[in-house]
Structure 1
Amino acid sequence: MPKLRFLFLAVVVLAITAGCASKENKSETAPTANVQNETPAEPNNETAAEEPPVEDPIPPDTTTLANTSGKTLFRSITSNKNGDGHASIGIVSKGGTVIAADPNTMATDTTGLIKADIITVTHNHSDHTDEAYIEANKLAGEVKYSEYALETFTVKDVTVTGISSGHSAIFSPDAPSNVIYVYEVDGLRVAHMGDVAQNELTEEQIGQIGKLDIAFLPFSDVTENGFTPAKTVKILQQLQPKIASPLHYTPEAAEVILQELGITERSETDVLTVDKADLDKIKGTSYVFLK
């Protein structure tokens, strides 16, 4: 009997030991994989700022105002050759200094860029300026730009003076509606008078303009723009230049003006080249139309 009790106790102990071991194994936590929950990078919606396309420079026009004459050169430089648009004049000194006076409708896409050393604009009307041409010149290199400014400056062998004037019969010296530009070049005194439309010049203006060799001014009869033949006749009588050349013009008005002034020496040309000796030979005033 004691042996049986001993065996029974031994069996019970073994059973209890096995159960405890089983519970311990079940209570152990299974290892987990080391997974990194990385947040995916957000897409970069920012794009690099687009740079404006670089425009090819306009090729230079080396022929229109080429001057090998040994004299001062003058030429109409607008592509608008009708009477209303005829206001843009190119002037080139003996030394090659280029002036573009009231450039408008410049045909840079077909002829190339006339590189100017000086650009002057007499007033703010669209038929006397060309923003694309002016900006192209600024990009192409140094240029002196004078926009209806009462100033005097010198570039190379040319001195320029802006003089207050009126685009109508009403003239306020302190608030000019037009600026007359006078160029001193190669011993000549040349005026581009823009759309001057005063009934007559004042004594002060005549003194500032001085003794002219060449005057560019309207030969027109468009009263809504202030132009009449009588005004041009009066101004030419006051200034008495050696050469008078039309800006805005009508053939009928030009004929009236020339008849009134008794000008019989008349010519038309693509290019005018003159020096002081040539002008000294002219008696009175000669009319030259730049085609």
Structure 2
Amino acid sequence: MKIEWYGQACFMITSENGTKVLMDPFNKMLGYELPEIEADIVSTSHEHKDHNNVDAVKSSFILINKLGTFNEKGIEIKGVETFHDNESGAKKGKNTIYNFKIDGLNVCHCGDLGHILSEEQVKEIGNVDILLLPVGGGFTVDASNANEVRKQLNPTVIIPMHYRTKALGILGLIFAKVDKFIKVSGLKSRDFAELNVNKENLKEYEGIAVLDYK
């Protein structure tokens, strides 16, 4: 599969057979820009405008925005209820973590997760090979709590998201830089334009993969 990051919490994953899965597309309020894109499946973790801009998709698609298990175009998807804050959603509402089984690998997108997971949530999410994890704090878990979530889910590869970049301009001051998470984790990190990963080469990318935003 090919994994591309468009900024914030938005990723495009293209499977080996060409199926495109878009996660948490954002609107124009951010410094990032979404190109005109097409996708077969679109998931949204919650209904905030920087995560649910499905109008950006210029094709017909299957929308995944609910809890439960789904099988669409050969991709198994599980949506698990979590929260946008550490007060059971009292401040910022609910958040859905989606675990996608694509090309035999489990890719877990945490959306705007705001808390360390419960044992029940960890069990429900299940096995994770690649973790798309918010690390910048502000509106999500910070570097320290993100590292705890990383330990809970124990992925082979972690791709950070939702942190300060130059594209965000002054808005980025709300978030910490990715370096803070890397330091707290103690894991090796490497930079990539995109990730081309499969079951055979997964171990080659072990650790933190910092993606350039498209």
Give the alignment's TM-score, normalised by structure 2. Answer: 0.83
CA distance in structure 1 between the aligned counterparts of 2:140 and 2:194, rounded to whole angstroms: 29
The size of the alignment, in residue pairs, is: 196
Query: Displacement of 1:255 after TM fit?
Result: 2.1
Name the counterpart of 2:114: 197
**Which ranges of structure 1 fall in alignment gaps of 5 or more residues?**
1-71
Q: How does 1:8-87 map to 2 (within 5 A)?
A: 72-77=1-6, 81=7, 86-87=8-9
Quick check: which has more Rg, 1 or 2?
1
Return the match for 2:103 from 163, 183, 186.
186
**Which ranges of structure 2 fall in alignment gaps of 5 or more residues?**
166-175
Kindly report the root-mean-square deviation, in angstroms, between the aligned alpha carbons of the 2 structures. 2.1
Structure with a larger share of its residues in strand: 2
> Does residue 1:151 correspond to 2:68, yes or no?
yes
Query: Displacement of 1:253 after TM fit?
Result: 4.3
- 1:58-103 C-alpha deviation (Å, 9 max, x unpaired): xxxxxxxxxxxxxx010023xxx4xxxx211001110111101001
Name the counterpart of 2:187: 263
CA distance in structure 2 between the aligned counterparts of 1:235 and 1:272, rounded to whole angstroms: 22
> Does residue 1:233 correspond to 2:157, yes or no?
no
CA distance in structure 2 between the aligned counterparts of 1:274 and 1:197, rounded to whole angstroms: 28
Q: What one-letter code is carried by the residue in structure 2 that aligns with 1:228? A: D
CA distance in structure 2 between the aligned counterparts of 1:242 and 1:93, rounded to whole angstroms: 19
CA distance in structure 2 between the aligned counterparts of 1:129 and 1:246, rounded to whole angstroms: 19
Relative to structure 1, the CA distance from residue 103 to residue 122 in structure 2 (aligned partners, 3 Å threshold; closer, same or farther) is: same
Q: Give yes or no for contact 2:27–2:49 (8 Å, CA) kept in 1.
A: no
Q: How does 1:267-282 map to 2 (within 5 A)?
A: 267-281=190-204
Higher relative contact order (CA 8 A, sep 6+): 2
Seq. identity, %: 27
Return the match for 2:12 from 90, 93, 112.
90
Return the match for 2:42 from 116, 119, 122.
119
CA distance in structure 1 between the aligned counterparts of 2:73 and 2:51, rounded to whole angstroms: 25
Aligned partner of residue 189 in structure 1, secondary structure: strand
Query: Displacement of 1:267 after TM fit?
Result: 1.9
Q: What one-letter code is carried by the residue in structure 2 that aligns with 1:204? A: E
Q: Give yes or no for contact 1:270–1:290 (8 Å, CA) kept in 2.
A: yes
Runs of 4+ in 1 over 4 A off after TM superposition: none
Q: How does 1:101-116 map to 2 (within 5 A)?
A: 101-105=23-27, 111-112=35-36, 114-116=37-39
